[in-house]
Amino acid sequence: MDQASTRNAVVTGAAGGMGRAIVARLLADGLQVTGLDIDADGLAEMAALSGFTPMTVDLTDPQAIADAFAQIRPVDVLVNNAGTCFMSAFPDIPAAELDRQMAINFSSAFHCCQAAVKAMAGRPGVRKIVNISSNGAYNFDVFDPPHYRASKAAMDTLTKDLARRYAREKIAVNSIAPAMTETPLFGVVSAEVLDAAIAAMPHGRPMQPQEVAAWVGFLISPAGDIASGNVIVLNQGRDVR
């Protein structure tokens, strides 16, 4: 494929459970992928993937994000996937934990969006931003703590703002909000809480990262060109009332 027709994607949190599946999906779909993650060892395990460029970046550092995007041009696709879930209980969540939760889950995506829309300028076709949110922003029966929920709700408001703001520039922006998906993030909760949350999944099993990545691939495919401003909930129908 020549340089003009190659589509370039940036995936944050690329070395994590969901990130690796998203990278694999986009590479299989023919995109060049730059993966940003703080986990240098995890990225090193992926370095041999054809079409993949690893970049070790702390996404809580806005300058580091700016420096990274200065090296990644042009950009056609951004997937804001980096995130974590801190589990301190309200009303004793330390101020520093709240700040870090918002920095990793929300501010990182905000800064990456600002850098990416500039790097998308002049690119052909419909450019895509996919934000990996969480079902935890909407389901108040599950265990998620309030700073995690709020970080994802903020992300989804950013999705809607940018979708509206850039509709005529043909940048489509959507959130995917998954429920229980089997990744290393499962380690943040106790075995009891995890078992109960998995038992509540209608299919009797957690979702797999590849299943979520398939939806990212769909949004990034031509079929996704006409969808923008949505929060797509993936949860096996768990919360339908």
Ligand X SMILES: NC(=O)c1ccc[n+]([C@@H]2O[C@H](COP(=O)([O-])OP(=O)(O)OC[C@H]3O[C@@H](n4cnc5c(N)ncnc54)[C@H](O)[C@@H]3O)[C@@H](O)[C@H]2O)c1
Q: Is 148 a catalytic residue?
A: yes
Of 9, 11, 16, 68, the one binding ligand X by CB under 6 A:
16
Of 132, 153, 158, 233, the one binding ligand X by CB under 6 A:
132
Of 24, 27, 33, 37, the one binding ligand X by CB under 6 A:
37
How many residues in the shown chain lie near ligand X by CB under 6 A?
28
**Nearest CB to ligand X, comparing residues 59 and 219:** 59
Give CA angle at 219 (240, 9), nearest 5°. 135
The neighbour count for residue 236, using CB atoms within 10 Å, is 17
Residue among 148, 152, 183, 212 flagged as catalytic: 148
67 Cβ contact partners less than 8 Å away, ≥ 6 residues apart: none
Part of the chain binding ligand X (CB under 6 A), chosen from 52-60, 116-124, 159-167, 218-226: 52-60
Cα–Cα distance measured from residue 178 to residue 59, given in angstroms and rounded to the nearest whole number: 22
Edge-first strand listing for the sheet containing 127-132: 52-56, 32-37, 8-12, 77-80, 127-132, 171-178, 231-234
Per the DSSP assignment, residues forming a β-bridge with 24 are none
Of 30, 94, 125, 184, the one binding ligand X by CB under 6 A:
184
| Under rule CB under 6 A, residue 38 binds ligand X | yes
| Under rule CB under 6 A, residue 183 binds ligand X | yes
Cα–Cα distance measured from residue 214 to residue 219, given in angstroms and rounded to the nearest whole number: 9
**Nearest CB to ligand X, comparing residues 123 and 206:** 206
Cα–Cα distance measured from residue 53 to residue 233, given in angstroms and rounded to the nearest whole number: 30
| Under rule CB under 6 A, residue 104 binds ligand X | yes
Contacts to ligand X by CB under 6 A: 13, 15-19, 37-39, 42, 57-60, 81-85, 104, 132, 134, 178, 180-181, 183-185
By annotation, the residues acting in catalysis are 148
